[in-house]
């Protein structure tokens, strides 16, 4: 699960989040989750792809929020607390 600054947090239903992640994965929700993790890791590593957090969230605000919603929703299936 990603730690998102309050300013960039979005409220969305599980269905909206699932659709966002599935679209990000080109029709595959698992690929969407993995792809978002790769983008997050790249950003967190200090990559110069985005100069500031604002630039990152301008492109990926919906996807990082969707990732968290799907992560929390799916963790319930496995008996894990998010």
Indicate if the pLDDT at residue 81 is higher than 80: no
- C-alpha to C-alpha distance for 18 and 41, rounded to whole angstroms: 21
The pLDDT value recorded for residue 22 is: 98
pLDDT of residue 24: 98
DSSP for the chain, please give it: -----GGG-----HHHHHHHHHHHTTT-HHHHHHHHHHHHHHHHTT-TTSSSHHHHHHHHHHHHHHHHHHHHHHHGGGT---
pLDDT averaged over every residue in the chain: 93
Q: Is the dihedral of CA 69, 72, 74, 77 positive or negative?
A: negative
pLDDT for 77 beyond 70: yes
């Amino acid at each position: 699960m990603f730690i998102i600054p309050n300013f960039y947090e979005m409220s969305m239903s599980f269905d909206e989040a699932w659709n966002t992640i599935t679209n990000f994965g080109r029709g595959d929700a698992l690929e969407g989750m993995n792809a978002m993790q790769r983008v997050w890791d790249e950003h967190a590593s200090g990559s110069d792809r985005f100069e500031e957090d604002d630039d990152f969230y301008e492109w990926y605000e919906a996807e990082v929020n969707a990732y968290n919603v799907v992560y929390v929703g799916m963790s319930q299936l496995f008996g894990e607390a998010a």
